[in-house]
Structure 1
Amino acid sequence: MAQKSDSIAKVRNPIVSSDSLAIDSTQLIKKDTTQKKPNKSEITDKIVATAEDSSFIDNKRNIGHYYGKARVVYGDKTIDANYIRVNFNDKTIFAKGTRDSLGMFSGPVIFKDPSQGALTADSVYYNFKTSKGKIYQVYTEQEGGYITGGKIKKQEDNEMHMKGVVYSTCSNPYPHQHFGIVITKGIAEEKRIITGPAYIVIEDVPLPIVLPFGFFPKPNKRASGILFPQFGEDATLGFYLRDFGYYLGLSDYWDMTLRGGIYSKGSYQADVASRYMKRYKYTGNLSFSFASRKYGVEGTPEYEHPQRDFNLRWSHSQNPNARPGTVFSASVNAGTSSYYKNNGNGLYDFNQISQNNLNSSISYSKTWANSPFNLSAGLTHNQDLSRRTVNLGFPSLSFGMSTLNPFDKKDRVGEQKWYQRIAVGYSLMADNRINTTDSMLFKKETMNKIQSGIKHNIPISLSSKVMKYFQFSQSINYTENWYFQTIRKRYALAPTPTGTKDSTSIDTVQGFRRAGEYSVGGSLSTKIYGMVNFKKGKVMAVRHVLTPNIGFSYRPDFSKPKYGYYEEMVVNEAGDIRKYSIFEQSMYGGPSGGRSAAINFGLDNNIEMKVRSSKDTTGNGVKKIPILQGLSLNGSYNFVADSFKLSLLNFSGRTFFTEKLGVNFGGTLDPYVYEKRIRNGVVEARKIDKYQWESGKLPRLASFNFSFDYSLNSSTVGKNNKNNNPPNPGGNNNLFERLDASELAQIQQISRDANSFVDFTIPWNFSFYYNFTYSNTVVRNTISQTLSANGDFSLTPKWKVQFTSGYDFERKQISATSFSIYRDLHCWDLSINWSPFGSYKYYGINLRVKSSILQDLKLSKRSGYQSFY
């Protein structure tokens, strides 16, 4: 083979072939002994041309003609077409598709260039020397968008000049795109597309919307830019310009979005949001929102004193493999109580509007390998939006040791002796807390109310079997709390309009105090099984598992003077004395007063039934149905108490009427008698140390709760295979008659999985939740009943309707209700949101392009929720 040269190829003795032809230009040149640095315009790669139908070389003009699935390859560039003409003198190529005898177009030009990607066109003219070319009726994808039609001139620096092309994000093949932006002229560069006058076409209908110029970024990394605003009207706040801002692509690891909005009646808002991520390390996002809302009309107090709200959200998660043994995470949602109520931003998320609590936690934990010790620290936040209360914990520290058997040997052989089963643990907790209202959160006097404390706990336990069937456990528990402030109470007379009344003043005493308490106990439990078998009928057996347990616990009276935990005070003018704990208002409270020697008892029941079932997939034809699960009753009896020795009796349980319908219930029974009396014009109930059954009555139902939820959905199965069974290969089935042996084997292999023939499409889904709560305080009974429901259904594969609603039976009113309708329009989508009644009545219609590149190409109509005034 001749040595490859850097000079321009000249064709000699061209070869004509009616089948296929490949010409290597480097084999037809003179051998050059000099080595020169190639110029940019020189051809340094070989040109290979092939044709499947026929080819012809014009020797006089040095031009090759290639017909039928022709291809020209030059370096990493490839051109395919039904007809290609190569001019070896000026190094140019002309390629085009052709039409058959019926006038059908076939074999379009497919031009592949790694620097520009692939494109399809009717015809292409290209110069290998200059890398310039002209492309007619192009179709190419550019970073999620499509450029089609018109004429494109390609420059040697990969810049393309366009004329009469259409830019769209619709993936439908040209010319059947659902919408597009017609660019009369423009320039496409590596990172951007800049256009002159352009107008929008929808379903081949041009709209009278003309853009004098356009800018479409094509970044290969995050880039900063302006975020276009939304315009509209709110029924309460007036006309608005909202969500106008700027996006900052700070780096490949984090970005930031700045947004703001103003309203014609004087309200405004500002939002900052940031995302960050480091692969294999961590990911998270942070956002802060502030808004000032003016309600009412000018001159009213609501207008002159705007309501200011803020909200802070932060989430952070760490990859478990980033730092084994160490975990840091954050989930923060904090702000003013009225933020979600006043700042729907047109979204009106009822899950946010109706929530009553905000919770936050930031935690760090550390475990040491081959060590029983662990450490965790964190910040916590709990906010009750209805009561406007805030509970902050900052910081909290926990240090623990897993349970050890100090008397056991590592090289022990055989079973443990009784003393080797003794287990010892240790835990330490340190907390700082503030309980206040959101209006007082940042006040100086609030910081003086910080509660601090440290708790140590040492549990010692021993567990063993007794008489083979009983589990016997003993325990000793010691707890010591450290405090940094205590209280002192003093009796005082408070003046009233009619005289004086008894009052108590409380003084906080700073200083370190400790309080230790201990208790001992033991418990005995076992399981009792009962079963009834049935020889006939669908029911095979009923089994009852009874789990009784009984225990004993002892705790001394820590209110005795020798401990120093309690003080005495006068409570009235008569001089009556009452004890109080100096740790009453501390974080962990104080040791309990009064001696306790109590028997704890409990009973747990599980009842289930076995039935014969032909639908059981295990093949044994047996199905288990739970009748009652966790039906339990618990209480205690204190032998040394002065009165009211028996505690309240707690019961709970759950059952299943069907596989999808589960019911939970629970409550408390009060065994004591109450008598009503009137004190200061108020009816009160006084508990008497007498049991209900002494009067022939059952314990009083003090509280009861009942709830269940249920969901329904429709799943579609094959029309010809309702039983989810695969077709029978041996039957009269045309499908299997067309399969060869290997394909038939594959079908038979799939047939072992019944789910392979199930269509899991869910055209509709419906779920509801019911909750009933009853409370009896003797003086008054209260009942609460609520029902909530949500669901969705598909009218067609592209139409979907969603709804959420509920009903309060006590208030006799429908709760927040909303409907959403979604229509998939291929490259567009249509959404309609509607809340027909209630405090947040509104509607919204959005028609927008799906692609994020043209996210601002949308049509919206909204109405704000009704005014509060």
Structure 2
Amino acid sequence: MKFIRPIFIVFSLAALIAIAVNGSVYAQRPVLRPDNAVKATTLPSDTIKLDTVTKKSTGSGTFTSKVTYSAEDSIKADMTNNIVFLYGKGRVKYEDFEIEADYIRLDQKNNSLFASGITNPKTKVYTGKPLLTQGAEPPLSTDSLFFNYKTKKGKSFGVFTDVEGGYLQAAQFKKNQYDEGFFKRGIYSTCNLPHPHFGIHITRGIATDKQIITGPAYLVIEDVPLPLGVPFGFFPKPNRRSGGLLFPTFGEDTRGFFMRDLGYYLGLNDYWDLSTRGTLYSKGSYELGTAARYRKNYKYDGGLNFRFASTKNGVEGTPSYKTPNKDFNLTWSHSQSPLANPGTTFSASVNAGTGSYFSNTGAAGTYNPTEIARNTLSSSISYGKVFANGLFNFSSSLSHSQDIQQQTVFLDLPRFSLNMTTINPFDTKDRAGEQKWYQRLSLGYSMQGSNSINTKEYKLFKKESIKDFRNGIQHDIPISLSLNILKFFQFNSGLQYSEKWYMQTIRKRLDPVASGFALATDTIQGFSRVYEYSLNSGLSTKLYGKFNFKKGKLMALRHIMTPSANFNYRPDFGTNKFGYYRDLQGDTAKISSRYSIYENPVFGAPTPGRMAGIGFSIDNNIEAKVRSDADSTKSSVNIPILQSLSFSGNYNFAAENFKLSTIGFSGRTAFFKEKIGINFYGTLDPYKIDAAGNRIDKFTIESGKLARLTNFGLSTDFSLNSKAAKNRNENLNEIDKAKQNLSRQQQDELNAISRDPNAFVDFNVPWNVSAAYSFNYSKNGLESSISNTLNIFGDFNVTPKWKVQYTSGYDFQANKLSLTQFSIYRDLHCWDLSFRWSPIGTYKFYSVDLRVKASILQDLKLSKRRDAYNNF
């Protein structure tokens, strides 16, 4: 009913009382059938005609509109008093009013209706309670009710209904002709049980279209009333979003006593809302923040959050205390529905600010170790559009990456690209038969531009940093031809043309000084064009080998080899005729005299030196064929041994020295039905090094060694989980596909899970174990380095309601544990109890939180925390 739903605003009272008691709330259910209430009708079993078929009739009393009624069991009519009795899932519909119940008495003479359930005389169970629906309002369940069609007055007993994320129960509820609702002994709670664990007990109240007025109200926890409450409540209920005060929390940490997150909420319109919060500390630190959310159904949604902090550290009177740290953080997320504007995309994911914000503020009071230990920040805002019937695709982006430890910032403002779909210019749409060789000729085009800077944080907003921006535009035109030769060989040939446009070049000179000379660099502003091209041709094929076994489970080994060779030619763009490289004038005996006028360009400069060489690569795949015992429908199964093992390099005939390049290799394999995957890679150098570690133009094979291993890496990860976990992952994938059809609240919950997976606990997954291992070895000359780390994480159910989560790792090179954290969760139906503990490291902490599950009462929680910032 319209007069029931607005009562959800009473939840504000819960937040007010919860802050006063700094704890959690439960409620005592009122008696739903007082002595003076109308009792539900109990019918003798012989009054129900089981053989009566379902009927539909139209009343002809004094109703202003047609009344339609039906029943699945039987319909009895009292023609003398003009009363109709409906038994067994009776239904009455009048205008936008519809009611279902196991017993309905329709008094057409007095324009009234009474509905109730029926108590089974054998089981003594009360079933078939009335379910009332009016307009677009949610269904209202009651024990019994009266309603007068003429006066529009009604009275119900034992009301239960959904109210904006919570549930309202009331012992009595009645409505007058002015659309005003009166209720007694009500409970508002987010617990959906008939006897809720907690709630706000409201003695009586009045609900209208514009306001709700209540009498005394108080909180009840597990049938124990709290000693705190309010004598009355007045809640305006406009038909639009409204603002209100956001209550703070109080406590103490290393910055002193604090009043945290005092603020104001403002509903701007149906699409936007805004909240502003502030935190004050007794030792002079403060934090300010504002968060805005927006959404337009089937179009877009997002949120913007800006936070600023002034933090005083150290001892009062010291220089570090007098000069506070000024930090800020900006986040913005935006997503667009794919159906909002077909062919056009726009998205944003921004996380920028000073690198010390999270460490100085303790992750803005939440003490999230992941945020505090964060090493990088990154952002991206992208736009894309497909046009000309899909022939062209344009995309642009603004991106940012930030190294917090090094305090460096990289900005790309903007980067854009225009790509054309590859076409066959000599082919025709009305061609019949196979393509001729010249019709296979393909042409493509792409353009990309960039304007970027890599600098320190403190230099970013200074005027002189503008000249440090690197910008340019690059055009690429690939022309290729692919043919099949002698059935077994694939021939590919192509011409690559690239042209770059830059807005500045450099000139170097030697200036005389007292000690000899100094190298000076001048920047020349103006448009400059540089081009390069290359030719390539290649052949590739596949070779198959098989070795059969006559005995044992192993039936055969199959080897697939894919060799390829190609010829590449590129002229020497370092010669004077191109003008890309110049010589220094003066005494250059101690320095290199040759330099490029495009120093450190955004798209690079043509490489000097002629290239006329052969590139080669070979890829291998090995698998075993094994007799199958598990599956009776299959006689054999294929098991991969090496999913890939490839080698690649090139030989440059035109080079003066070091003609053979380094040999790169990589591969991957899997074990235990692909539950454990292993990837490896490396680099082999065919040339020797001298005693100082310098590379010399002599092959290592002359010393009896095939090559020097200069780099090797290996990584593996595995996940062992229960079948329920796999089902859960499949369900999450299905949810992700249907996300556009979910409600705003459901989408917010999914977004919260993606931002903080630790906040989501699935008790349907009995156990899960995951681990990742990485190893890397590199050697440069005589110096070598090794990294060797292991990370492990997972969870398991102790009982159906207790879950333990863990994450840890070990750095074998540093010989110490990485960030280690344990979490224990207890499902309390409508509440969550969680314990988090990090026993080692810089950010040791523990926290205990008891909170309401429902997001509408998310501020109702009791927390105990001890960490580097908080000690209370």
Letter paired with 1:237: R
Letter paired with 2:216: P
Query: What are the superposed Cα offsets for residues 191-242 of structure 1, whole Å, 9 maximum, x if unpaired?
Result: 66432322222221222232334467888865443333333333x3333333
Q: Does structure 2 conserve the Cα–Cα contact (< 8 Å) formed by 1:108 and 1:122?
A: no
Partner SS, residue 702 of structure 2: helix
Instruction: Give, in whole Å, the separation in 1 of the partners of 2:66 and 2:434.
Output: 82
Q: Which residue of the other structure, out of 459, 468, 481, is the alignment partner of 1:462?
A: 481
Query: What are the superposed Cα offsets for residues 138-171 of structure 1, whole Å, 9 maximum, x if unpaired?
Result: 4444444333354444333232333333322221
Indicate yes or no: 2:734 matched with 1:715. Answer: no
Q: Which residue of the other structure, out of 353, 356, 360, is the alignment partner of 1:338?
A: 356
The equivalent of 1:848 in structure 2 is 851
State, as a whole percentage, how many aligned pairs show the same letter: 51
Q: Using the TM superposition, give the Cα deviation of residue 832 of structure 1 relative to its aligned residue in structure 2, in angstroms.
A: 2.0
Indicate yes or no: 2:628 matched with 1:609. Answer: no
Over 3 Å counting, the alpha-carbon distance change for 1:350 and 1:530 in structure 2 is: farther
Of 47-56 and 333-342, deviating more is 47-56
Q: Which residue of the other structure, out of 227, 236, 251, is the alignment partner of 2:246?
A: 227
Over 3 Å counting, the alpha-carbon distance change for 1:565 and 1:179 in structure 2 is: same
The equivalent of 2:6 in structure 1 is none
Over 3 Å counting, the alpha-carbon distance change for 1:571 and 1:585 in structure 2 is: farther
What pairs with 1:331-730 in structure 2 (closer than 5 Å)? 331-343=349-361, 344-370=363-389, 372-491=391-510, 503-569=518-584, 574=589, 578-616=593-631, 619-658=633-672, 659-677=674-692, 685-715=693-723
Q: Does structure 2 conserve the Cα–Cα contact (< 8 Å) formed by 1:293 and 1:307?
A: yes
Q: Using the TM superposition, give the Cα deviation of residue 387 of structure 1 relative to its aligned residue in structure 2, in angstroms.
A: 2.4
Q: Which runs of 5+ in 1 are unaligned?
A: 1-16, 30-41, 678-684, 718-759
Of 217-226 and 394-403, deviating more is 217-226
Partner SS, residue 374 of structure 1: strand
Over 3 Å counting, the alpha-carbon distance change for 1:218 and 1:630 in structure 2 is: farther
Query: What are the superposed Cα offsets for residues 733-770 of structure 1, whole Å, 9 maximum, x if unpaired?
Result: xxxxxxxxxxxxxxxxxxxxxxxxxxx95300010100
Instruction: Give, in whole Å, the separation in 1 of the partners of 2:617 and 2:175.
Output: 85
Query: What are the superposed Cα offsets for residues 519-575 of structure 1, whole Å, 9 maximum, x if unpaired?
Result: 112112111111101122111110111111122212222121121111112697746
TM-score of the aligned structures, taking structure 2 as reference length: 0.80
Letter paired with 2:609: G
TM-score of the aligned structures, taking structure 1 as reference length: 0.80
What pairs with 1:116-127 in structure 2 (closer than 5 Å)? 119=140
Over 3 Å counting, the alpha-carbon distance change for 1:598 and 1:192 in structure 2 is: farther
Letter paired with 1:463: S
Instruction: Give, in whole Å, the separation in 1 of the partners of 2:324 and 2:160.
Output: 56
Instruction: Give, in whole Å, the separation in 2 of the partners of 1:404 and 1:95.
Output: 73
Partner SS, residue 676 of structure 1: coil
Instruction: Give, in whole Å, the separation in 1 of the partners of 2:71 and 2:592.
Output: 112
Of 181-190 and 813-822, deviating more is 181-190
Instruction: Give, in whole Å, the separation in 1 of the partners of 2:429 and 2:79.
Output: 94
Q: Using the TM superposition, give the Cα deviation of residue 784 of structure 1 relative to its aligned residue in structure 2, in angstroms.
A: 0.7
Over 3 Å counting, the alpha-carbon distance change for 1:637 and 1:348 in structure 2 is: farther
The equivalent of 1:776 in structure 2 is 779
The equivalent of 1:156 in structure 2 is 177
Over 3 Å counting, the alpha-carbon distance change for 1:819 and 1:57 in structure 2 is: same
Instruction: Give, in whole Å, the separation in 2 of the partners of 1:445 and 1:456.
Output: 30
Over 3 Å counting, the alpha-carbon distance change for 1:817 and 1:213 in structure 2 is: farther
Instruction: Give, in whole Å, the separation in 2 of the partners of 1:690 and 1:153.
Output: 99
Partner SS, residue 694 of structure 2: strand
Indicate yes or no: 2:223 matched with 1:208. Answer: no
Letter paired with 1:158: D
The equivalent of 2:216 in structure 1 is 197
Instruction: Give, in whole Å, the separation in 1 of the partners of 2:821 and 2:507.
Output: 55
Over 3 Å counting, the alpha-carbon distance change for 1:151 and 1:704 in structure 2 is: same
Indicate yes or no: 2:188 matched with 1:167. Answer: yes
Q: Using the TM superposition, give the Cα deviation of residue 446 of structure 1 relative to its aligned residue in structure 2, in angstroms.
A: 0.6
Instruction: Give, in whole Å, the separation in 1 of the partners of 2:47 and 2:699.
Output: 113
Q: Using the TM superposition, give the Cα deviation of residue 400 of structure 1 relative to its aligned residue in structure 2, in angstroms.
A: 2.8
Over 3 Å counting, the alpha-carbon distance change for 1:127 and 1:676 in structure 2 is: same
What pairs with 1:771-850 in structure 2 (closer than 5 Å)? 771-850=774-853
Over 3 Å counting, the alpha-carbon distance change for 1:695 and 1:301 in structure 2 is: same
Over 3 Å counting, the alpha-carbon distance change for 1:84 and 1:477 in structure 2 is: closer
Partner SS, residue 448 of structure 1: helix
Instruction: Give, in whole Å, the separation in 2 of the partners of 1:371 and 1:764.
Output: 47
Q: Using the TM superposition, give the Cα deviation of residue 129 of structure 1 relative to its aligned residue in structure 2, in angstroms.
A: 4.8
Q: Which residue of the other structure, out of 279, 283, 288, is the alignment partner of 1:265?
A: 283
Q: Which runs of 5+ in 2 are unaligned?
A: 1-45, 726-762
Letter paired with 1:424: L
Q: Rg bigger for which structure? A: 1
Instruction: Give, in whole Å, the separation in 1 of the partners of 2:69 and 2:480.
Output: 86
Query: What are the superposed Cα offsets for residues 262-307 of structure 1, whole Å, 9 maximum, x if unpaired?
Result: 3333222233333333333333333222222222232233322222
Q: Which residue of the other structure, out of 122, 132, 146, is the alignment partner of 1:112?
A: 132
Letter paired with 1:627: I
Instruction: Give, in whole Å, the separation in 1 of the partners of 2:366 and 2:765.
Output: 27
Query: What are the superposed Cα offsets for residues 619-662 of structure 1, whole Å, 9 maximum, x if unpaired?
Result: 22322111112211111122221222121111111111222111
The equivalent of 2:274 in structure 1 is 256
Of 333-342 and 432-441, deviating more is 333-342
Instruction: Give, in whole Å, the separation in 1 of the partners of 2:163 and 2:521.
Output: 74
Q: Using the TM superposition, give the Cα deviation of residue 771 of structure 1 relative to its aligned residue in structure 2, in angstroms.
A: 0.6
Partner SS, residue 417 of structure 2: strand
The equivalent of 1:315 in structure 2 is 333
Over 3 Å counting, the alpha-carbon distance change for 1:55 and 1:575 in structure 2 is: closer
Instruction: Give, in whole Å, the separation in 2 of the partners of 1:646 and 1:552.
Output: 14
Query: What are the superposed Cα offsets for residues 462-518 of structure 1, whole Å, 9 maximum, x if unpaired?
Result: 2223333222222222212121111122335788xxxx5875322211122211212
Instruction: Give, in whole Å, the separation in 1 of the partners of 2:386 and 2:89.
Output: 67
Q: Using the TM superposition, give the Cα deviation of residue 347 of structure 1 relative to its aligned residue in structure 2, in angstroms.
A: 3.9
Instruction: Give, in whole Å, the separation in 1 of the partners of 2:615 and 2:855.
Output: 64
Letter paired with 1:535: K
Over 3 Å counting, the alpha-carbon distance change for 1:405 and 1:313 in structure 2 is: same
Q: Does structure 1 conserve the Cα–Cα contact (< 8 Å) formed by 2:622 and 2:640?
A: yes
Partner SS, residue 397 of structure 1: strand
Q: Does structure 1 conserve the Cα–Cα contact (< 8 Å) formed by 2:694 and 2:781?
A: no
Instruction: Give, in whole Å, the separation in 2 of the partners of 1:546 and 1:600.
Output: 17
Over 3 Å counting, the alpha-carbon distance change for 1:163 and 1:512 in structure 2 is: same
Instruction: Give, in whole Å, the separation in 2 of the partners of 1:70 and 1:320.
Output: 44
Q: Using the TM superposition, give the Cα deviation of residue 133 of structure 1 relative to its aligned residue in structure 2, in angstroms.
A: 4.8
Partner SS, residue 321 of structure 2: helix
Over 3 Å counting, the alpha-carbon distance change for 1:216 and 1:627 in structure 2 is: farther
Instruction: Give, in whole Å, the separation in 2 of the partners of 1:716 and 1:793.
Output: 12
Instruction: Give, in whole Å, the separation in 2 of the partners of 1:51 and 1:600.
Output: 82
Q: Does structure 2 conserve the Cα–Cα contact (< 8 Å) formed by 1:660 and 1:710?
A: yes
Instruction: Give, in whole Å, the separation in 2 of the partners of 1:101 and 1:637.
Output: 95
Of 535-544 and 364-373, deviating more is 364-373
Query: What are the superposed Cα offsets for residues 11-39 of structure 1, whole Å, 9 maximum, x if unpaired?
Result: xxxxxx988999x998689xxxxxxxxxx
Q: Using the TM superposition, give the Cα deviation of residue 795 of structure 1 relative to its aligned residue in structure 2, in angstroms.
A: 1.8
Q: Does structure 2 conserve the Cα–Cα contact (< 8 Å) formed by 1:394 and 1:432?
A: yes
The equivalent of 2:24 in structure 1 is none
Letter paired with 2:288: A
Q: Does structure 2 conserve the Cα–Cα contact (< 8 Å) formed by 1:82 and 1:106?
A: no
Instruction: Give, in whole Å, the separation in 2 of the partners of 1:88 and 1:418.
Output: 92
Of 774-783 and 322-331, deviating more is 322-331
Instruction: Give, in whole Å, the separation in 1 of the partners of 2:532 and 2:344.
Output: 34
Instruction: Give, in whole Å, the separation in 2 of the partners of 1:447 and 1:649.
Output: 41
Q: Using the TM superposition, give the Cα deviation of residue 818 of structure 1 relative to its aligned residue in structure 2, in angstroms.
A: 1.7
Over 3 Å counting, the alpha-carbon distance change for 1:526 and 1:303 in structure 2 is: same
Q: Using the TM superposition, give the Cα deviation of residue 616 of structure 1 relative to its aligned residue in structure 2, in angstroms.
A: 4.0
Partner SS, residue 464 of structure 2: helix
